[in-house]
């Protein structure tokens, strides 16, 4: 495994819609492993492949300290409710904002073995999944933030 460089928001790849993964080859598996290590190293709770310069539809999302979900070609099937919450982004350091997201989502994706699965998420995990799937469309949370928040007013918020 290796750490990858996290691009910041002035990089054009973050603004481009990513491509579907057609073939889960060794490059994709290596990318997933590297993304896990890079996210942990950066203390993040989620990461999209284009944040490390690979324009493919791949995201990872942490659920607590133990579980990291890997989603290849994720698709949001259902969304329910809405709630405001504060987000940051590993690609936009020192910037936080209040974003409205669905409070519950059902997402389908492929796992690293190419098997389809369905993930039902609420709370922070639901928020992280929506934030990361936006990355795959070239959308950043600052596009959607209702207001930005001074980092001095926050403590210990997590970034994705
Ligand atoms: Zn982000």
Phi, psi of 94 (to 5 degrees): 60, 25
* Residue 5, in any domain of the structure: no
Task: Count the domains in the chain.
Answer: 1
pLDDT for 98-147, tens place per residue?
999 999 999 999 999 999 999 999 999 999 999 999 999 999 999 999 99
The mean pLDDT value of the chain amounts to 95
Look up the domain containing 148 and give its range. Answer: 12-159
pLDDT at 50: 98
33 CA → ligand 1 middle, Å: 18
pTM for the model stands at 0.94
64 CA → ligand 1 middle, Å: 18
Active site residues: 132
Residues of the chain with pLDDT > 90, as a percent, come to 89
Task: Tell me the CATH number at 112.
Answer: 3.90.45.10
Pairing of strands 104-110, 116-122: antiparallel
160 CA → ligand 1 middle, Å: 4
* Residue 7, in any domain of the structure: no
87 CA → ligand 1 middle, Å: 9
* Residue 6, in any domain of the structure: no
H helices present in the chain, as ranges: 26-41, 123-136, 141-144
């Amino acid at each position: 495994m290796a750490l990858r460089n996290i691009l910041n928001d002035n990089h054009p790849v973050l603004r481009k819609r990513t491509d579907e993964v057609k073939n889960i080859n060794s490059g994709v598996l290596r990318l997933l492993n590297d993304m896990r290590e890079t996210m942990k190293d950066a203390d993040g709770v989620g990461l999209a492949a284009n944040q490390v310069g690979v324009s493919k539809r791949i995201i990872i999302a942490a659920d607590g300290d133990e579980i990291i979900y890997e989603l290849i070609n994720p698709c949001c099937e259902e969304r329910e409710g809405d709630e405001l919450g504060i987000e940051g982004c590993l690609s936009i350091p020192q910037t936080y904002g209040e974003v409205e997201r669905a409070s519950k989502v059902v997402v389908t994706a492929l796992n690293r073995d190419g098997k389809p699965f369905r993930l039902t998420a609420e709370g922070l995990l639901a928020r992280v999944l929506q934030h990361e799937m936006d990355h795959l469309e070239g959308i950043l949370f600052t596009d959607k933030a209702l207001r930005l928040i001074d980092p001095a007013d926050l403590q210990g918020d997590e970034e994705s």
